[in-house]
């Protein structure tokens, strides 16, 4: 790709001295930034390349070395990986060895019986497609994006092992797998010398499923890391909706976050948490992320950001990740007052 030399990206010299914390991922050799960047939203065709590009530059310049993708992030499906490929060509190729890039397959991606779920055929061909879109020779981490009860676990897991053997993925992970299947996965993978690096699950102040189900403890004891997705409950755990629904917000798009979710009860909870955050000298987003990073067994949190300003706000969470018992009890009491709509809670 032709680039204007004036517009050539050079990463900040201060990227590893600006306060980012790196945490060991389970019992592996990998250190992940406490805050990672997710590409589910804000990297598809609905966003300008320049705005996506600015967010990644800001991220990397501030020590975010981990970008989390999936085959179907967009819109349309595949578009976020295509953006990543353009970013590699244009900006990040000289920094490839400083980046930890993940992708996944498990949800619907292409039509017909082989573009969904957990078969060997789907996972291996999807990874090949992802590598082509991202202009990469290998990904650092490949995830089974979800548990598929109809495919033998051994088939899915052996596909993960074989990706590593083929040099197309350095590490493997699983996302949203139930606890029992997670235990099976850890044993199967470690017996083949491809230990599970990490489990990706939704964990935030409102959704405690990985803690309540025991998954967090299971993966920690088994030597894997845990990375929390949607740590801000898609923006609910920020100041975004305190004064209405902004036209450029995720909720205004009415797809993954619906305005019907924003009841007076939920707004009351968000306001209560916002007061507590301000008492701590933080924004609500910072408190939500600090809370998550203070949970035992959490390696990293994957935030989404539609602007560099949001990411700047979020990164300040690292300044204070400790909570008093009284603060934790208040957070629990507010979060427990009304359950979130079922779509926003892990079953
Ligand atoms: N494994 C899985 O199944 C799975 C599922 C979901 C997500 N994920 C991963 O987790 C990543 C993060 O998920 P998510 O996007 O739902 O995360 P999130 O961090 O909970 O929400 C991100 C959204 O919150 C708003 N926001 C962020 N920072 C803000 C701030 N400081 N002030 C105000 N608003 C702010 C923005 O929404 P606006 O657009 O409204 O500005 C942003 O797009 C994904 O990109 C993906 O990598 C994985």
**pLDDT, tens digit, for every residue of 278-299?**
999 999 999 999 999 999 999 9
Q: What's the CATH code of the domain at 64?
A: 3.20.20.100
Residue 34 belongs to a domain: yes
For residues 138-165, give the mean pLDDT. 98
What's residue 221's pLDDT? 97
**pLDDT, tens digit, for every residue of 306-345?**
999 999 999 999 999 999 999 999 999 999 888 777 777 7
Other residues' Cβ atoms within 10 Å of the Cβ of residue 33: 22
For residues 189-215, give the mean pLDDT. 96
Q: Retrieve residue 196's tokens.
A: 């599970």
Residue 249 belongs to a domain: no
Residue 254 belongs to a domain: no
Residue 220 belongs to a domain: yes
For residues 134-163, give the mean pLDDT. 98
What's residue 344's pLDDT? 76
What's residue 339's pLDDT? 77
What's residue 311's pLDDT? 98
Residue 3: pLDDT above 60?
Answer: no
Question: What is the rounded average pLDDT for all residues in the chain?
Answer: 96
Q: Are 303 and 314 in contact (CB under 8 A)?
A: yes
Tell which atom from ligand 1 comes closest to the C-alpha of 106: 3
Query: Is the distance from the beta carbon of residue 176 to the nearest atom of ligand 1 less than 6 Å?
Result: yes
Q: Which residues span the domain enclosing 166?
A: 17-244+283-321
Total residues belonging to the chain: 347
What's residue 115's pLDDT? 98
**Number of domains making up the chain:** 1
Q: pTM for the whole thing?
A: 0.97
Q: How far apart are CA 119 and CA 149, in angstroms?
A: 11
- Give residue 303 CA to ligand 1 midpoint distance, Å: 5
Query: Is the distance from the beta carbon of residue 310 to the nearest atom of ligand 1 less than 6 Å?
Result: yes
Instruction: Give the torsion sign (CA, 67, 53, 99, 12).
Output: negative
Residue 29 belongs to a domain: yes
Residue 189: pLDDT above 70?
Answer: yes
Q: How far apart are CA 35 and CA 23, in angstroms?
A: 10
Query: Is the distance from the beta carbon of residue 177 to the nearest atom of ligand 1 less than 6 Å?
Result: no
- Going by their DSSP bridges, the two strands 196-202 and 225-229 should be labelled as parallel
Tell which atom from ligand 1 comes closest to the C-alpha of 250: 40
Q: Could you tell me the pLDDT band of residue 76, with boundaries at 50, 70 and 90?
A: very high
- Give nearest CA residue, ligand 1 atom 14: 230
């Amino acid at each position: 790709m032709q680039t204007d030399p004036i517009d050539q990206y050079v990463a900040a010299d201060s990227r590893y001295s600006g306060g980012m914390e790196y945490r060991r991922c389970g019992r592996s050799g990998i250190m992940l930034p406490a805050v990672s960047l997710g590409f589910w939203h804000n990297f598809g065709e609905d966003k300008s390349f320049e705005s996506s590009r600015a967010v990644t530059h800001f991220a990397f310049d501030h020590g975010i070395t981990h970008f989390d993708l999936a085959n179907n992030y967009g819109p349309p499906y595949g578009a976020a990986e295509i953006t990543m490929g353009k970013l590699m060509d244009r900006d990040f190729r000289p920094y490839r060895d400083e980046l930890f890039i993940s992708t996944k397959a498990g949800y619907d991606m292409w039509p017909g019986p082989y573009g969904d779920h957990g078969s060997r055929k789907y996972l291996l061909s999807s990874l090949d497609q992802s590598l082509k879109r991202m202009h990469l020779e290998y990904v650092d981490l490949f995830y089974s994006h979800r548990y598929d009860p109809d495919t033998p676990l051994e088939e899915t897991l052996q596909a993960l092992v074989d990706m590593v053997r083929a040099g197309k993925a350095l590490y493997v992970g699983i996302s949203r797998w139930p606890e029992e299947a997670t235990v099976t996965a850890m044993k199967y993978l470690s017996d083949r010398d491809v230990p599970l690096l990490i489990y990706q699950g939704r964990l935030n102040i409102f959704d405690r499923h990985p803690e309540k189900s025991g998954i967090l403890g299971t993966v920690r004891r088994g030597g894997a890391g845990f990375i929390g997705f949607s740590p801000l409950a898609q923006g609910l755990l920020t100041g975004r909706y305190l004064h209405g629904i902004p036209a450029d917000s995720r909720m205004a798009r009415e797809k993954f976050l619906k305005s019907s979710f924003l009841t007076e009860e939920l707004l009351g909870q968000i306001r209560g948490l916002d007061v507590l955050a301000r008492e701590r000298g933080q924004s609500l987003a910072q408190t939500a992320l600090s809370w998550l990073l203070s949970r035992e067994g959490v390696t990293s949190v994957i935030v989404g950001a539609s602007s560099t300003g949001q990411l700047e706000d979020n990164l300040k969470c690292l300044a204070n990740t400790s909570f008093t018992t009284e603060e934790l009890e208040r957070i629990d009491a507010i979060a427990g007052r009304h359950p979130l709509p079922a779509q926003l809670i892990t079953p």
